[in-house]
Amino acid sequence: MSASGTNLNRILVVPAAELDRLGRFQGFSAEADSYLSVLLAPGVGEFRPRAEMEDDPSFKQIIPYVVFRSEGRIFRYTRGKSQGEARLHARQSIGVGGHVDEADADGRATLDAYEMALRRELDEEVEIGSPGALRRVGLINDDSTPVGRVHLGVVHIYDLDQPRVLPREEGLADAGFVTMAELTSGVDRLETWSQIALKWIGEDADRE
């Protein structure tokens, strides 16, 4: 992430009570626009010290989660130690992204600022070598784990013309595109969010 100075550890969060008011769910919801139009409306979200938020389920940390897809394959990597969330180290993931830092979002807790931070996060973590289309498809909420209880994932699918994505960070180890069959056969090695996203992707393919 590109935050700097005193803003480095201040991340975008929303009150969990707002999620409850809108309708808390477990797993995947395709209603991202409806939720985010409220959660990232002016005056709702805020920036708080990350260290205080990691064990505070009264807030949800907003996390962009981008899945790269091309030619029927999905980008997968293993989380290394340089990835921010220590509780997920050595787990495989199909989602690229991270916290929205105050500096990345110019201090604004709005949807426009979130989108700006998302682009900066992607530029820092990966090198994308193919044209493609990025779309927001849903949210992930998983209250079954300590990590999930304090995070809310915003899921994006990045459909690329060619499978050309290279990691810029050491934390994205053993990175490459793999088939859905490979992911499914090794689903137990995936972090929980990736398992939830993979299930949606499979169901989405069946709908097409």
Residue pLDDT, tens place only, 85-125: 455 457 899 999 889 999 988 889 999 999 999 999 899 99
Rounded CA-CA distance 162/150 in Å is 35
Q: Give all strands (DSSP E) within 44-112, no chain letters.
A: 46-49, 59-70, 73-79, 92-93
pTM of the entire predicted model: 0.90
Rounded CA-CA distance 167/75 in Å is 10
202 is written with which tokens? 């499979």
Q: What is the rounded average pLDDT of the residues 26-33? A: 97
Mean residue pLDDT across the chain: 90
Say yes or no to pLDDT of 54 above 70.
Answer: yes
Question: CA dist 4 to 10, 102, 184, Å?
Answer: 10, 9, 39
Domain residue ranges in the chain: 5-207
Say what percent of the chain tops pLDDT 90: 79
Residues forming a β-bridge with 70:
73
Between CA 112 and CA 121, with CA 117 as vertex, the angle to 5 degrees is 150
Q: Is 81 left (phi over 0), alpha (psi -120 to 50) or beta?
A: alpha
Level-2 CATH architecture, domain 5-207: Alpha-Beta Complex (3.90)
Rounded CA-CA distance 43/59 in Å is 15
Say yes or no to pLDDT of 163 above 80.
Answer: yes
**From 72-81, 84-93, 176-185, the region with the lowest mean pLDDT:** 84-93
